[in-house]
Chain A
Amino acid sequence: MPGVILKDVRKSFGKHETIHGVSVEIGDGEFVTLVGPSGCGKSTVLRMIAGLETVTAGSISINGKEVNGIAPKDRDIAMVFQSYALYPHMTVAENMGFSLKMRGLPKAEIDAAVKKTAGILGLEPYLARYPKALSGGQRQRVAMGRAIVRNPAVFLFDEPLSNLDAKLRVQMRTEIKDLHHRLKTTTVYVTHDQIEAMTMAEKIVVLNDGRIEQVGTPLELYDTPVNRFVAGFIGSPSMNFLPCRRDDAGGLTSPTGQKLTDTAPEGPKDQPLILGIRPENITLQPGGIPCEVKLVEPTGAETMLSLELSGVAVTAVMKARVKARPGETIHIGFEPDSWHVFDEDSGLRIPTAGS
């Protein structure tokens, strides 16, 4: 039985509709990330699942039961907030035990559950402390502990790592993933960081402007994005986009007459197209497409190049060390079958021979 099902869910604040019909199925035990740019409605969707926001239209069900009119406390969900929202006047143990206390569990049982969860998260030494005496990372852990201790049917995370520094974020990412492997609780994880989404999720839901753009595994989104938005959003650095048209030789050519590819998907010649190529799929190729080097940024393992191709800025990431200097011209090529073609007007991807 699926864990969480959203059916054509809509949300209006006043007259203004912000979520325009979202449908998605989240399987029992699945780890799903909800990703999208700021303001696209991720938090709103999550809060509707939690019951903190009413649903204007459509339905949400958790474990087979429609929960539209049900209060948050009766939905068997736990939520971790971006701000953590730890109660400042309660100790770590009291914070973690609060929901169990609300459920009327006996004190001994609460203590045992809190202790066990604290053990999982390495929080035992801090149980008697108040939140203000904890570091950011420890607070984050307490916020997770507060969710875990209840053993809910669904975990909801709203950008839980965005207040941590980069190193801790990477560490917590692994820990949350690990925890999910152990607990196997259905999880909806909201983030605007696509790397977080890619590395953590079994399934990603890409949201844009209150609509789902695409649902798929991280690699599906990476390899076969349905449109230009998803293509540009998933992957870092983001995909390069080059305006082009079909040429007489059956390939693609830029508006300045620069030949880009030898093949192209079938279609009318006057259709404005966009060629999408990821930075990591660009290679050095003698006799290839000439580009002017704008900037060279070696990071050790790889080299990031900012190039200009027919007047369009292009980013390339090379595994090899590149000795180019700004102002010089280099010649590049695209790895076979690595590029995508999009219709400029609709933004939709046009399948090529390779995919």
Chain B
Amino acid sequence: MPKSLLRKFFAYGVIAIALVLTFYPVAWMLSASLKESGEIFTTPVFSSGSAGLGNYVSAFAEYPFFLYLLNSVFASLVSVLVTVLLGALAGYSFAKFRYGLSTVFWIVVLVSLMIPLEAVVIPLFLEVHSFGWTNTYAGLVLPTAFNVVGIFIFRQAFVALPDDYIDAARVDGAGELRILFSVILPMVLPTVVVVSVLTFNLNWNSYLWPLVVTSDDGLRTLPLGMAAFQAGYNTQYGEVMAVSVFGTLPTAVFFLALQRYFVEGTISTGVK
């Protein structure tokens, strides 16, 4: 076999293994969601079950998953918006301006990246509680809406942009905000997508904060709802899987819609 063919063979082999590892659990989840509880462990993974959409119907009858979905989508979208907006603003500042305290601020950003939510969740809760925000949408969404990594990724992208564009826009009469939103941001759309997808995912999967700050059933997000459901119906694997499929779908859709830009963006920004 010629060397190049061998290399190709090897590369495709690796990709195939990665694909199987990634998709097998998804396939298992999907197939299990269509089976009766008794069938899941007794029939082959890729056989069709006899439950049809029954698991979905019964799970949704027991818990208001559509409401949880709406809560999750709302919280995640707000988070994306806040992160893109503030991340771009701060990233622009860190990338293109030098002033007295900019290094200090940058260190603050770096340090805050290293603090996990778990470490600050109690003081944060007390703070939010003092605002009277427990069990409100504001309390659910805002305290964790901003993803500090956004500053990082935007700064990276802006540093790579030649200053001439900014200078040209300044001479053309644009103010700094206008430059950021009309000139610079459109030039780094793939980066906007990367930040959006990362932030959406992070928020979509967030569990600890919603758990701490909400007790009202109407404010639950999908992960909370799923956990509660699992706790109550832990033997009903078919229904649990049906709910899982439902919870995975939006991120998959969100990602697939932006996939092209995401790939472009991860290549150009060097982030994952």
A181 contacts B by Cβ under 8 Å = no
A341 → chain B, closest Cβ, in Å? 44
- How far apart are the CA atoms of A85 and B174 in the complex, in Å? 14
CB < 8 Å neighbour of A102 from B162, B164, B173: B173
The answer to the question of A81 belonging to the interface, with a C-beta cut-off of 8 Å to chain B, is: yes
Is B171 an interface position by the 8 A CB rule? yes
Residues of chain A contacted by B174 (CB below 8 angstroms): 73, 98, 102
Which residues of chain B from 150 to 189 have a CB within 8 Å of any chain A CB?
162, 164-165, 167-174, 178, 183, 186-187
Query: How many of chain B's residues have a CB under 8 angstroms from any CB in A?
Result: 15
Give chain B residues whose Cβ lies under 8 Å from the Cβ of A82: 164
Structural contact, A103 and B167, CB atoms closer than 8 A: no
Closest Cβ of chain A to B189, distance in Å, is 8
Residues of chain A within 8 A (CB-CB) of B186 are 89
- Verify B170–A52 contact, CB threshold 8 A: yes
Q: A138 at the A/B interface (Cβ < 8 Å)?
A: no
Bound state CA distance, A50 and B167, in angstroms?
9
- Whether the Cβ atoms of B187 and A98 lie closer than 8 Å is no
Q: How many residues of A contact B (CB 8 A)?
A: 22
CB-contact partner of A81 in B167, B178, B183, B187, under 8 A: B167
Could you tell me if B187 and A73 are in contact, using CB atoms closer than 8 angstroms? no
Is A215 part of the binding interface, using a Cβ–Cβ cutoff of 8 Å?
no
The answer to the question of A281 belonging to the interface, with a C-beta cut-off of 8 Å to chain B, is no
CB distance from B185 to the nearest CB of A (A): 10
Determine the chain B residues whose CB is within 8 A of the CB of A78 once the complex forms.
171
CA distance A184 to B40 in the complex (A): 84
Q: B173 touching A81 by the CB < 8 A rule?
A: no
Q: Is the CB of A83 within 8 A of B171?
A: no
- B172's closest neighbor in chain A, by CB? A99
Closest Cβ–Cβ distance, residue B90 to chain A (whole Å): 22
Contact A52 B183 (CB under 8 A): no
Within 8 A of B (CB), among A86-114: 87-89, 98-99, 102-103
Find chain B residues with CB under 8 A from A85 CB: 162, 164-165, 167-168
* B binding-site residues for A, Cβ under 8 Å: 162, 164-165, 167-174, 178, 183, 186-187
10 A-B residue pairings within 8 Å (CB atoms): A52-B171, A73-B174, A79-B168, A85-B162, A87-B168, A89-B186, A89-B187, A99-B172, A99-B173, A103-B173
